[in-house]
Amino acid sequence: MVSQFLHEPLRLARAYPREAAVAAAALVFSAAAMASVVTAPAHVEHRATNPIAAAFVPPSVPDMTAQAVAPEKAVEINREIPVTAAGPAAAPFALIGANASARTSALTCLSQAIYYEAGNESEEGQRGVAQVVLNRVRHPAFPASVCGVVYQGSTRATGCQFTFTCDGSLNRRPDLSGWDRAHRTAAAALSGSVAPSVGYATHYHANYVLPTWAQTLGKTAIIGAHLFYRWNGGWGQPAAFVQRYSGHEANADALRGQALAAHAAFVAAGMPTAGHSAPPIAIAAGLPLTQQPNGRVSLHFTPQARAAVEAALNTRRVASDTTVVSDALDAGAPSIEQKPLGS
């Protein structure tokens, strides 16, 4: 019965070829017309009301601001936050589509993050910091490049994501052995080495500070002086890390210069920067200062303003109990006072 039903149209087509062709053309035209009238509006309506598409908005990235508590108290509070979000190791990372220049910049930026953020940490601790950077590159809440992640917010007084990019630490010339160690760790991470202990962590901080977001995320690991976290819920799961690496990197030297120039302007303006409270030069000198809604500060460089900036750049100040740094944009040769902060 089925065989007879299938063969009947073929028999009729052979017997009446012209009529069959006309009927086929009419059928195709009718189908196309129905698709344009019915299918297209339904598709547009589907896109407009799709709850999944509407919900695919990554969480906002919190500023790296800390609560005003003493270091000893911060250590105590941080100790009470349990490790509840340990998960699988992240997938290996690769610089897909990057040319030689982009690869060089990516390696420099990741080496800087490791050196200035975890210079005194163990090999595992340094690998953990590298892993956080690369996890961010693959998460849609962050930039899709290594340097973009490392220098995110570096020109805002308290908006940087990695403290060393906005607290003047980049003025310190790295010591050779420490830089070589960080460089090797970065190269391995960019070649697929994974830090399984931190999993898909996208945040970390030192145990002696208490970020405002610390108790809102899931702690994944404790390595040395660093505590690692990921977002709770779906945005912290492996399936959320779907962003493709862009293949493009900004020039690492240019980013460093911009970050240091912004920091110098904040110091001159008397604005607090990450980890430091600068003297109120702007108030004393009456400089024309404008605070923007996005956290950036506009400083109009009149001759009076320039003199105040030059005075600030010539002022040496203690950044920590282990390091003395200068605010000069181009620091001189490293001295015995200059050691990795490892914070």
pLDDT digits (tens, 9 = 90+) for 199-247: 999 999 999 999 888 889 999 999 999 999 999 999 999 999 999 999 9
Identity at 143, one-letter amino acid code: P
**Residue length of the chain:** 343
Domain residue limits at 41:
2-54
CA gap 46, 38 in Å, rounded: 12
For strands 324-326 and 226-230, give the pairing: unpaired
CA gap 226, 234 in Å, rounded: 24
Task: Average the pLDDT over 249-267 and give the result.
Answer: 92
State the total domains in the chain: 3
CA gap 334, 338 in Å, rounded: 6
Q: What is the CB neighbour count within 10 angstroms for residue 321?
A: 6
What's the N-to-C CA distance of the chain in angstroms? 81
Asked if 40 and 108 sit in the same domain, the reply is no
pLDDT > 50? residue 61: yes
Helix (H, G, I), strand (E, B) or coil at 205: strand
Please state the φ and ψ torsions of residue 261, each to the nearest 5 degrees.
Answer: -65, -40
Confidence of residue 328 (pLDDT cuts 50, 70, 90): very low
SS3 content of the chain, % helix, strand, coil (to 5): 50, 10, 40
Asked if 233 and 97 sit in the same domain, the reply is yes
* Assigned domain for 188 exists: yes
* Assigned domain for 39 exists: yes
* Assigned domain for 332 exists: no
Q: List the Cα angle 126/128/132 in 5-degree steps.
A: 120
Mean pLDDT of the chain: 73
Domain-terminating residue out of 220, 255, 290: 255
Burial status of residue 333 (CB atoms within 10 A of its CB: 0-12, 13-18, 19 or more): exposed
> Which stretches of the chain are assigned E, i.e. beta strand?
203-206, 218-223, 226-230, 289-291, 297-299, 316-318, 324-326
Asked if 234 and 130 sit in the same domain, the reply is yes
Asked if 177 and 136 sit in the same domain, the reply is yes
Asked if 186 and 206 sit in the same domain, the reply is yes
Asked if 144 and 249 sit in the same domain, the reply is yes
Sequence-distant (6+) residues with CB within 8 A of 206 are: 225, 226, 227, 343
Give the per-residue pLDDT at 156.
Answer: 77
Beta bridge partners of 226: 206, 223
Task: Average the pLDDT over 132-144 and give the result.
Answer: 97
Least confident of 37-51, 57-71, 131-145, 219-233: 37-51
- DSSP per residue, 260-320: HHHHHHHHHHT--BTTB----HHHHHT--EEE-TTS-EEE---HHHHHHHHHHHT-EEE-S
Asked if 239 and 216 sit in the same domain, the reply is yes
* Assigned domain for 174 exists: yes
Is the pTM higher than 0.75? Answer: no
Asked if 50 and 92 sit in the same domain, the reply is no
Q: Contact, 9 vs 27, CB < 8 A?
A: no
Task: Average the pLDDT over 257-273 and give the result.
Answer: 82
How far CA 118 is from CA of 49, 124, 128, 180, in Å, comes to: 46, 10, 9, 13
